[in-house]
Amino acid sequence: MTVSKIDLLNKKFARCMRGYCPDEVDLAMHDAAEALGQAADENRRLLERLAALEREAAQVPAPPPVRAMVCPPTDIQGALDTGRRIVGEINENARREAQRILEEARSEGARIVASANLAKARVIEEIAEMRGQREAFEQEMRHLLEGHFRLLESAEAARHSESGDFTFAEGQD
């Protein structure tokens, strides 16, 4: 599953008794982890492609040097020189194209890494925010339960004190 930056930023979790629904949070974290894993795999694949293209570019032979002619060129010699010049231009164009492809691959790899790092930072921020919300909820729940416990204790104490003071009068009109 693909998770985008917008998906993570707009993700809302249903509330339940203990805060956010743990199943939904786990699913969102799983999706984010999958997206980061895919980005890392794509980055690795692009780096391997870059290395292969660099090896290919290094193996392209340099065009042969143009030799000075001692005797006047004949038609065959002119054709050979023209062919060498064309081959040299083709090699140079291929070298430039390989360099352009390498630069594009490096740029794309850097973009993917930056995107993955941004997604990772957002997930870490979300986790920290959720932890803070959980702690606030736990503190609020603790205060609420303590207040209810005090109320129960005071009601029980009141019941005990009332039962001791109450007496029945017998035989009076």
pLDDT digits (tens), the chain, 173 positions: 666 666 666 777 777 777 777 788 778 878 887 887 888 888 889 889 888 888 888 887 776 665 654 445 567 877 888 888 998 899 888 889 888 988 988 988 899 999 899 999 999 999 999 999 999 999 999 999 999 999 999 988 888 887 655 555 555 55
Whole-angstrom Cα distance, residue 26 to residue 83? 65
Q: Are 10 and 17 a contacting pair, CB within 8 Å?
A: no
Token digits of residue 2: 């693909």
Whole-angstrom Cα distance, residue 86 to residue 79? 10
pTM: predicted TM-score of the whole model, two decimal places: 0.38
